[in-house]
Structure 1
Amino acid sequence: MVLAPMAGITNVAFRQLCREFGSATSLYVCEMVTARAIVERDSKTLEMMTFGADEHPRSLQLYSVDPKNVTDAVRIIAAEGMADHLDMNFGCPVPKVTRKGGGAALPYKRRLFAQIVRAAVEAAAPAGIPVTVKFRVGIDEEHHTYLDAGRIAEAEGAVAVALHARTAAQRYSGQADWSRIARLKEAVTTIPVLGNGDIFSAEDAVKMVRETGCDGVVVGRGCLGRPWLFRELHAALTGQPVPAGPSLGEVGAILHRHAILMVDHIGEDKGVRDLRKHMAWYLRGFPIGADLRKAFGLVSTLAELEDLIGKLDHDAPYPAEAEGPRGRQGSPGRVVLPEGWLDDPEDAAVPDGAELMHSGG
Structure 2
Amino acid sequence: MGRLRLGTPLVLAPMAGVTNAPFRRLCREAGEQGLPSHLRASLDTAQPGIDAPAGLYVSEMITSRALIEETPETMRMITPDPTERVRSIQLYGVDPATMARAAAILCERDLVDHIDMNFGCPVPKVTRKGGGSALPWKSDLFNAIVQQVVAAAKPYGVPVTVKMRIGIDDEHITFKDAALAAQDAGIDAVALHARTAAEHYSGQAHWDQIATLVQMLEIPVLGNGDVFEAEDALAMMDQTGCAGVVVGRGCQGRPWLFHDLAAALNGSEDRFRPTLAQVAELILCHAELMIENFADEFRAMREMRKHIGWYLRGYQIGGPTRGDLNRVSSLAELQERLAALDLSQGYPQAAQGRRGRAGGVKRPHLPDGWLDSREIDEAARELLKGAELDTSGG
TM-score range, shorter chain: over 0.9
2:230 aligned with 1:221? no
After TM superposition, the structure 1 = structure 2 runs for residues 257-276 of structure 1, keeping only pairs within 5 Å, are: 257-266=285-294, 267-276=296-305
1:12 is aligned to 2:21: yes
Change (3 A) 1:244 1:346: same
Instruction: For 2:264, give the aligned amino acid.
Output: A
Give the superposition deviation at 1:328.
2.5
Structure 1 window deviating more from structure 2 (43-52 vs 139-148): it is 43-52
Name stretches of at least 5 consecutive residues in structure 2 with no aligned partner. Answer: 1-9, 33-51
Q: In structure 2, what residue type is equivalent to 1:353? A: L
Which residue is 1:132 aligned to? 161
Partners of 1:344 and 1:268 in 2: CA distance = 49
In 2: Cα distance, 1:49 partner to 1:353 partner: 27
Aligned to 1:144: 173
Which residue identity is paired with 2:198? A
Which residues of 2 match residues 322-333 of structure 1 at below 5 A? Answer: 322-333=351-362
Contact (CA 8 Å) 1:31, 1:60: kept in 2 or not? yes
1:102 partnered with 2:131: yes
CA deviations on 1:322-353 (whole Å, 9 max, x unpaired) are 11211222222111222222222144766213
| Corresponding residue for residue 321 of structure 1 | 350
| Alpha-carbon distance between aligned partners in 1 of 2:261 and 2:82, rounded to the nearest angstrom | 25
1:297 maps onto 2:326 in alignment: yes
Which has the higher mean CA deviation after the structures are superposed, 339-348 or 58-67? 339-348
Aligned to 2:37: none
**Displacement, 1:31?**
0.8
Q: Is the 8 A contact 1:109 1:348 kept in 2?
A: no
Provide the alpha-carbon RMSD of the alignment. 1.5
Deviates more, 1:123-132 or 1:345-354: 345-354
Which among 238, 241, 265 is matched to residue 269 of structure 2?
A: 241
202, 227, 232: which one aligns with 1:204: 232
Structure 2 residue corresponding to 1:352, chosen from 368, 376, 382: 382
Distance 1:111 1:242 in 2: 47
Preserved CA contact (<8 Å) 2:139 2:178: yes
User: How many residue pairs end up in the alignment?
Assistant: 360
Question: SS state of the match for residue 192, structure 2?
Answer: strand
Provide the residue aligned with 1:172 in structure 2.
Answer: 201
Structure 2 residue 86 is matched with structure 1 residue 53: no
Q: For residues 98 and 253 of structure 2, what CA distance do their matches in structure 1 show?
A: 35
Q: CA deviation at 1:291?
A: 2.6
Letter in 1 for 2:351: A
CA distance, structure 2, for counterparts of residue 270 and residue 39 of structure 1 = 25
CA distance in 2, matches of 1:237, 1:19: 15
Q: Distance in 1 between matches of 2:190 and 2:323?
A: 41
* Cα separation, 1, equivalents of 2:86 and 2:168: 32
- Report the Cα distance in structure 2 between the residues aligned to 1:221 and 1:159, rounded to whole angstroms: 24
Check the 8 A contact 1:101/1:351 in 2, yes or no: no
TM-score (norm 1): 0.96
CA 1:348 to 1:90, structure 2 compared with 1: closer, same or farther past 3 Å? farther
Q: What amino acid does structure 2 have at the position aligned with 1:3?
A: L
Give the distance between the partners of 1:235 and 1:55, measured in 2 at CA. Answer: 20
One-letter amino acid of the structure 1 residue matched with residue 234 of structure 2? V
CA offsets, 1:146-187, max 9 Å, x none?
Answer: 111111111111100000000000111111111110111111
Conserved 8 A contact 1:45-1:359 = no
1:110-167 alpha-carbon deviations (Å, 9 max, x no partner): 2221111111100001211110000000000001111111111111111000000000
2:75 aligned with 1:43: no
CA distance in 2, matches of 1:145, 1:318: 42
Distance in 2 (alpha carbons) for counterparts of 1:240 and 1:359: 38
Cα pair 2:256 2:272 within 8 Å, conserved: no
Deviates more, 1:37-46 or 1:88-97: 37-46
Whether contact under 8 Å (1:18, 1:230) holds in the other structure is: yes
Moved more, 345-354 or 55-64: 345-354
Tell me whether 5-14 or 42-51 shows the greater mean CA deviation: 42-51
Gaps in structure 1 of 5+ consecutive residues: none
Partner residue in 1 for 2:46: none
The residue that corresponds to 1:159 in the other structure is 188
Which one is further off, 238-247 or 60-69? 238-247
CA–CA distance in 2 between the matches of 1:309 and 1:71? Answer: 46
SS at match of 1:74: helix
What residue identity is the alignment partner of 1:220? G
Measure the CA separation in 2 of the matches of 1:67 and 1:268: 38
* Runs of 4+ with deviation above 6 angstroms: none
| Residue 215 (structure 2) aligns with | 186
**C-alpha deviations, 1:174-215, integer Å up to 9, x for none?**
111111101111111x21100001111111111111111111
Q: Secondary structure at the match of 1:209?
A: helix
Deviations 1:51-92 (A, max 9, x none): 112212111001111111112111111111221110010001
